[in-house]
Amino acid sequence: MDFIHTIKVKDKLFEYFIGENELNSILRKLYDDINNDYYNATSEDPLIIIGVLNGAFMFLSDIIKNLEIHCEVHFIKVSSYIGTESSGEVKKLIGLNEDISNKKVLIIEDIIDTGKSMVNLIKELNLLNPKNIDICTLLYKKSKCVEDLNIKYIGKEIEDKFVVGYGMDYDKQGRNIKCIYKLFE
């Protein structure tokens, strides 16, 4: 057995949800699709990949290690979670210092919940006049999303459960867990 069925992070109990084999399958599909869709990126016109910190760092790392296209990687930090709930209020903590005007942009996100953070991030990025903005998310809570988002790449649609592991945290802990666990009820 290569996983623990339940784990405790701080004061909450989580149960095994998505293992390494399923994650690898999801990743393979996503990076194959990105490679196919952006095959014509050049060193003069690379795909600009923007990773949303902190949660997407592991996902982003695994995706870009398998990209065979010209790309640049940058980071932005936004936060809207308090404990296990999205507050709906977005705080931009680290900004993008790169010129993305007339560039193809791909946002890499760990999870899209209500979609409010993503809508605000896209509004901010659109002020910088990119050619287009696509979204890639590892997990998507379609039933909870209240925003109309055009998400080009979805790793897995999940129910409205709080998850931890593979870069995602509960109150700053659990990011280092190599599988994904959901809140035990």
Residue 93: predicted pLDDT = 46
Identify whether the C-beta of residue 55 lies closer than 8 Å to the C-beta of residue 110. yes
Residue 27: predicted pLDDT = 98
Among 76-90, 94-108, 130-144, 168-182, name the one with the lowest average pLDDT. 76-90
Band (pLDDT 50/70/90 cuts) for residue 70 is very high
Annotated catalytic residues are: 113
Average pLDDT of the residues in 110-127: 92
- Whether the predicted pLDDT of 64 surpasses 70: yes
CATH class for domain 6-39+46-183? alpha beta
What is the model's pTM?
0.90
Beta strands 12-18; 180-183: pairing state: antiparallel
**Which one, of 144, 139, 143, lies nearest residue 163 by Cα?**
139
The amino acid at residue 137 is T
Band (pLDDT 50/70/90 cuts) for residue 36 is very high
- Whether the predicted pLDDT of 180 surpasses 90: yes
